[in-house]
Amino acid sequence: MPIRPRPNRLNDLDSKTWIKFQKSWFVHNPPPRDRSVLRHPAKFPETLAQEFIEFFTKRDQVVFDPMVGTGSTLIAALRAGRHSYGIELNPRYAEIASQLVEAELATQMDQRTTWVARVITGDAAHLAQIISDHRIPPIDYVLTSPPYWDMLHSRGAATQTKRRSTIELDVVYSENPADLGNVADYSEFLDHLVKIYASLDPFLRNKAYLTIIVKNIKKGGKVYPLAWDLAQRLGEVYTLKDERIWCQDDIHLAPYGLGSAWVSNTFHHYCLQFRKEI
């Protein structure tokens, strides 16, 4: 008897595309950012987000981002044909995200788009209340990237700060004390971050995946292993399934520590994959 192909319960991809995505590292150099989203100091590209969304969900499922920034996850979800919801603390970024979502929906008018893409202004620390108040349906996939601690306030960010401020772009996320990018103590920052991600558990469908795009941090001549700490701590809540390493090879090298000490140019991020098992 002929062998029947196994049903694809995870996504709508063909086998060739599935296997290509399983490579543990990848190079992704995003297109230049539009000035409307350039204001945000640390935006990840819609092109990258769409690849992850299309692998970890099927069409018409629900994607969620608790720290949506200027809306990359929602725009990618629309392009992939998924419903999406995002929370953003900074009202300015939430407004930009809403405008970009509306613009994306306008480009899809001839396709009779019926997908929901909603930006909610609020604090992810109160995630349960927000999800209840806005009647967000059970979540099939989470794609997000946290602030990289308070690195935008560090001395090492001075060059970028000067360059961005001269062209009237934001150099920090906000001045709001509730913003995790303003928490000075690393342990406190990590505790808050883990608590937010762990609080998603009751709202996720069983076997739902979470992808967190993050990197380890250098500060004061020391590495703080944010990616590894998150993997360890959240691995107590969800199952840590794997990682994909996003490499960027379009960034100029800088002579850090030249002639005196080892300081790498860090051009990679960890895309940590977790799954809700129960």
Using one digit for the tens of pLDDT, what is the confidence trace for 34-63? 655 555 455 678 999 999 999 999 999 999
The domain spans of the chain are 36-275
Tell me: pLDDT of 3 over 80: no
Q: Which tens digit of pLDDT belongs to each residue from 83-138?
A: 999 999 999 999 999 999 999 998 886 666 689 999 999 999 999 999 999 999 99
Amino acid residing at 181: G
Which conformational region is residue 264 in: left (phi greater than 0), alpha (psi within -120 to 50 degrees), or beta? beta
157, burial (CB in 10 Å: exposed 0-12, middle 13-18, buried 19+)? middle
Residue 156 pLDDT class (50, 70, 90 cuts): low
Buried b (16+ CB within 10 A) or exposed e, 239-263: ebeebbebeeeeeeeeeeeeeeeee
Nearby residues of 147 by Cβ (< 8 Å), 6 or more positions away: 42, 67, 173, 179, 180, 181
- Record: fold of 36-275: Rossmann fold (3.40.50)
Average of per-residue pLDDT values in the chain: 87
Q: What mean pLDDT do residues 168-193 have? A: 77
Tell me: pLDDT of 154 over 80: no
